[in-house]
Structure 1
């Protein structure tokens, strides 16, 4: 079987890492041939080369924008996405794929190429959109969700929360939930970093991931400040990349207001954060809505107690006071209370960490994830042709559709 995967990014974020682990497993299956399309050079391409997985570069645009950015009218769809899809189709048709898989909801080019090639398309939806990543679909949510349904033979969601978000527009018969896997290379486990935390006796808190308003770093800064006021010995490390200078300034201002800024660190993204997971005492996930929660599983695998905001797909992983703790997003006093409970009750902390480890290892093993998806891929053999109403929706005519090689029923 030949499968072509389309990635929205060439970086190594959560979706890209899950894709990489999947590809490494699929590669071992007899008669399975793979090709990956990336929008540019990057860290993912380096990893694919090392894994001896074929990949090509083809620049393409996302069909999402940030709130406040201008949206393109639907009549630009033809020029923005269809023209790029036609050029990509010319690149990959020599590979003769049996299936095209799009790894995210942020791009549509894979669905268009699959249609032009008359092969089945699977859409892997991993995001809640504005609720977790702060982006909106440039042609609107309803338009996008209907497009995902009609241009796909199957739609895979990475949590029940994400499936529920799109469920109004996507057929239940096409929908499947497959939780992301987690796998950490043992070499990364044992790699040593200089001690990053400054206070050896402090209770060390780590929040890792994109630094943005949606990710809730302000909650943990306020909670840490409150714990310091209570004379508790804590230290916070915020790790991640930030592209919003205004928000980063707000973070530093809030830290300054604590009166104990030396108890806080803000560090840029690093490719291997796992030595920092080893050094910390608890892992925080403060996103208002998290589609899945990869960092939760990473913390669990390091046998660290995880405290997370109760939103999105988080409660599908954490069972409160059994394998982790949930707090109400925005309520930093609630968060501070959960941290204090973990700090002061060593037996509870140990039990929660062990149960979390068992959850991550038992339910989210990479092998189970990969082979479940492999079975879905192998069983998806029917090309799904969208209705002719999409010709009008996309603001072009049947003649143009035929010239592009698009198929409608």
Structure 2
């Protein structure tokens, strides 16, 4: 029988759970099929692909989801145009490499599906995330996503909770296939020599959705109860603004000797051997690779009672402990219970979780089943039926493409680039002033400004906060329409309401600075300063005091 040529579409730009699972899959599947991988740009996965001697192509394309409040018709249409253009490049590769099947590694881009329809080959869609429940996001075009899901030869759901969600939302029956992991890489021996410390690990993206606030507040709660030797290691890449908030909280509450932030580590086994427990706090995890790794390694798992985490741990403390997601006091009580459990109970839970993980998540077994899915998809594909829909996509592209020359398309395409360029321009000027020993507080003191508010707590707002925090200028409160994490650090005010008295408000939203200054002047009589205005003044005059 002819060996299949399979194209894998990797949507991620970093090494996260979906990418690690793809790497594990490729390592096994190369024994069954010829693997060709498409990635969006150069990043760390290339090292793994070259190590496995797997061919790859770099084809730039965009994901098709974002925050619900930022979605728009313009964004939807532009995303489709970009997807279709990228799909045309994929079709060339499909023809050159004689691809038989496309495997899309997650649900967050349409380019692989569009390319499969254009080239007349089947595609399998692997749904690894709960976009709506976990990330407060949506797909740009839910109708298009539904259509493309329905045209897939097979839909694979990463867990029972995802399978249920796909059926509820899209009325599609999918195949539930748990991730396959290299068991030997993660398994750790559990025996009577095991001892237990009070060290906890929390691995994953450091972001609001992953529940680090719950863990930090729970540890603080236990320290106040006398568990002063408890340690929490938070490891992963980060949403920088969110990380700023949690790090600031840890520092202000004197938790630096108990809570540690560590940058992303692909291999966590050294850390897993140093801790007894692992926390998964996600609001709605589709499955949770880090939870599975913890179970294999013999870490006792404490997880939020939602989604895939609940599915993995089970009820009645079968394979770990559940807590009420978002309730840090409940988490603290669970952590305290776990710490004080008898060694016999801890070992029973460890062994139960490890046996379950070895049985359910073995990559060898997984890839045998996946190969059969491939064969069935190719054998049952109906070329003529799908080509009529591919023509509809072409017509849709031609219609949207005519609008590409219109003003709104050009503006939306340039908007993000211009924001980045604007921020770079002013941050470079700010950096040069700092190198000369000139600070923002020099301007504020000379203008007799002693109390301020900050409007805009994205990354630039956080930098302004950090620079002024330990000066004679008092930051009374901050404002931001989108991010509320700073409220755990400092008083946060709704900008639509009444603004408490301060000497000045500093606006840090550079792309809308003038509009916001005018709007704030209409609300209050306080001095309103744009950050760019302050920087210009510092450049033009001698503000060193």
| TM-score in terms of structure 2 length | 0.66
Question: Hey, what does 2:407 align to over in structure 1?
Answer: none
Larger displacement relative to structure 2 (367-376 or 213-222): 367-376
Question: Hey, what does 1:57 align to over in structure 2?
Answer: 58
Question: Hey, what does 2:334 align to over in structure 1?
Answer: 338
The match for 1:119 among 100, 109, 121 is 121
Question: Hey, what does 2:509 align to over in structure 1?
Answer: none
SS in 2 for 1:122: strand
Alpha carbons of structure 1 residues 76 and 221: separation in structure 2 relative to 1, 3 Å: same
Q: CA deviation at 1:355?
A: 0.9
Alpha-carbon separation, structure 2, partners of 1:238 and 1:20: 24
Question: Hey, what does 1:28 align to over in structure 2?
Answer: 31
Question: Hey, what does 1:234 align to over in structure 2?
Answer: 230
**Conservation of the 8 A alpha-carbon contact between 2:64 and 2:79:** no
Question: Hey, what does 2:40 align to over in structure 1?
Answer: 39
Alpha carbons of structure 1 residues 353 and 79: separation in structure 2 relative to 1, 3 Å: same
The match for 1:81 among 71, 83, 106 is 83
**Conservation of the 8 A alpha-carbon contact between 1:131 and 1:214:** no
**Conservation of the 8 A alpha-carbon contact between 2:118 and 2:390:** no
Q: CA deviation at 1:264?
A: 1.1
2:292 is the alignment partner of 1:291: no
| 1:190-235 residue CA offsets vs partner (Å, 9 max, x unmatched) | 9xxxxxxxxx995101101100000000000011011111102311
Question: Hey, what does 1:361 align to over in structure 2?
Answer: 358
SS in 2 for 1:262: coil
Alpha-carbon separation, structure 2, partners of 1:160 and 1:145: 21
| Stretches of structure 1 lacking an aligned partner (at least 5 in a row) | 191-199, 401-409
**Conservation of the 8 A alpha-carbon contact between 2:235 and 2:263:** yes
Alpha-carbon separation, structure 2, partners of 1:159 and 1:393: 36
Question: Hey, what does 2:443 align to over in structure 1?
Answer: none
SS in 2 for 1:167: helix
Larger displacement relative to structure 2 (220-229 or 162-171): 162-171
2:45 is the alignment partner of 1:48: no
| 1:368-407 residue CA offsets vs partner (Å, 9 max, x unmatched) | 1111111101111204617589559946569x9xxxxxxx
Q: Which runs of 4+ in 1 moved over 6 A?
A: none
SS in 2 for 1:207: strand
Q: Identify, as 1 or 2, the structure richer in helix.
A: 2
Question: Hey, what does 1:325 align to over in structure 2?
Answer: 321
Relative contact order higher in (CA < 8 Å, ≥ 6 apart) = 1
2:224 is the alignment partner of 1:221: no
2:375 is the alignment partner of 1:378: yes
The match for 1:265 among 248, 257, 260 is 260
Question: Hey, what does 1:307 align to over in structure 2?
Answer: 302
**Conservation of the 8 A alpha-carbon contact between 2:183 and 2:363:** no
Alpha-carbon separation, structure 1, partners of 2:276 and 2:368: 34
Alpha-carbon separation, structure 2, partners of 1:263 and 1:201: 17
Alpha-carbon separation, structure 1, partners of 2:172 and 2:136: 26
Larger displacement relative to structure 2 (380-389 or 259-268): 380-389
CA RMSD of aligned residues (A): 2.6
Alpha-carbon separation, structure 2, partners of 1:288 and 1:2: 38
Alpha-carbon separation, structure 2, partners of 1:242 and 1:352: 31
Q: CA deviation at 1:322?
A: 1.3
**Conservation of the 8 A alpha-carbon contact between 2:233 and 2:262:** yes
Instruction: Report how many residues are paired.
Output: 384
**Conservation of the 8 A alpha-carbon contact between 1:75 and 1:394:** no
Matches within 5 A, 1:102-251: 102-139=104-141, 142-173=142-173, 175-183=174-182, 186=185, 203-232=198-227, 233-245=229-241, 247-251=242-246
